[in-house]
Amino acid sequence: MKIGIIGCAGRMGKMIGETAALNGHKVIVGIDRGDNIGKPLTDFIKGAEKGIAVSSNNEDAFMVSDMVIDFTVADNAVPNAELATKYQKPLLIGTTGLTTEQVSVLQKLASETVIIKSANTSLGINIMKDAVKKLAAILDSSYDIEIVEMHHRNKKDAPSGTALLLGKAAAEGRNIDFDANAVTDRTGKRKTGQIGFASLRGGDVIGDHTVIFAGDGERIEISHKATSRQLFVNGVMKIISWVEKGQKPGKLYDMDDVLGL
């Protein structure tokens, strides 16, 4: 596959590009911004095609790639999805922190071209999500659900996209409305049925998540700790292979579709 990477100078973009090249794909476009523009793509992505300069024009990625991968900032997601529909190219959005409005625009555009959105591409988190949904369905609202996450000091969004994904799985399991029950800025006493979030930021933590079901006299906790970003990159490789098999637009796809969960 000919791959275009938006955010090619970022932590994720670099690793995705390098692993894609190692897996035999051609990384032919890199988009970023600031001082990175105009530099050789190979400065950021070992194994990228030679003689290509980092561009600031997202459209370049959609014109020539078979698939475009976006790990940048939330406001980039909708413009990229619009370009994906214009050029009829599959798009993976790994960026987190998207608003509900941005996600609903993506849902509409996903009927026109293949768009996959995943806040966490690791196998472990996607399996944990299913476990959380099942536990939330079994345990009634006397078990308070709290989600604690920790990430590196530079993370922009809070709670993390993964924490929200786990919270939504809990709400689905319990059959309650997520937005009406999620609490990200707790003050005062806890109300029954709430799904609480706590975000810690510091050091170089890649991503720790714990979902707590706190009842009277006992607590059930499920945790996932990412110790390498390669974990997410491996999930991205699964997504590329899934797209390569040939997918049709229809819905906003996520890791469940890719992993067949």
Under 8 Å between Cβ of 83 and 218: no
Q: Can you tell me which residue has the tokens 């619009």? A: 82
Taking the complex as a whole, the smallest distance from the CB of residue 138 to ligand NAD amounts, in Å, to: 28
Ranked by CB distance to ligand NAD, the top (closest) residue is 10
With CB under 6 A as the contact rule, which of the stretches 2-10, 101-109, 185-193, 213-221 interacts with ligand NAD? 2-10
With CB under 6 A as the contact rule, which of the stretches 9-17, 22-30, 171-179, 237-245 interacts with ligand NAD? 9-17
Rounded Cα distance, 89 and 73, in Å: 20
Taking the complex as a whole, the smallest distance from the CB of residue 39 to ligand NAD amounts, in Å, to: 11
Run of H or E including 36: none
Query: b/e for 243-254, b at 16 or more Cβ within 10 A?
Result: beeeeebeebbb
Taking the complex as a whole, the smallest distance from the CB of residue 236 to ligand NAD amounts, in Å, to: 8
Binding test (CB under 6 A) with ligand NAD, winner from 143, 213, 232, 242 = 232
Taking the complex as a whole, the smallest distance from the CB of residue 241 to ligand NAD amounts, in Å, to: 16
Q: Binding string to ligand NAD for residues 39 to 78, with x set by CB under 6 A, is what? A: --------------------------------xxx--x--
Under 8 Å between Cβ of 9 and 37: no
Structure tokens at 255: 């890791």
By annotation, the residues acting in catalysis are: 151, 155
Q: Does residue number 173 form part of the binding site for ligand NAD (CB under 6 A)?
A: no
* Cα-Cα-Cα-Cα dihedral sign, residues 239, 256, 162, 178: positive
Rounded Cα distance, 116 and 144, in Å: 32
Q: Which is nearer to ligand NAD, 143 or 167 (CB)?
A: 167
Q: Does residue number 97 form part of the binding site for ligand NAD (CB under 6 A)?
A: yes
Binding test (CB under 6 A) with ligand NAD, winner from 4, 7, 17, 196 = 7
Q: Is 115 helix (H, G, I), strand (E, B) or coil?
A: strand
Orientation angle between helical segments 100-109 and 77-87, nearest 10 degrees: 0
99-128: contacts with ligand NAD (CB under 6 A): 118-121
Taking the complex as a whole, the smallest distance from the CB of residue 153 to ligand NAD amounts, in Å, to: 12
Query: b/e for 125-161, b at 16 or more Cβ within 10 A?
Result: bbebbeebbebbeebeeebbbbbbbbbeeebebbbbb
Binding test (CB under 6 A) with ligand NAD, winner from 94, 159, 167, 173 = 94
- Binding residues vs ligand NAD (CB under 6 A): 6-7, 9-13, 31-34, 71-73, 76, 94-97, 118-121, 161, 232
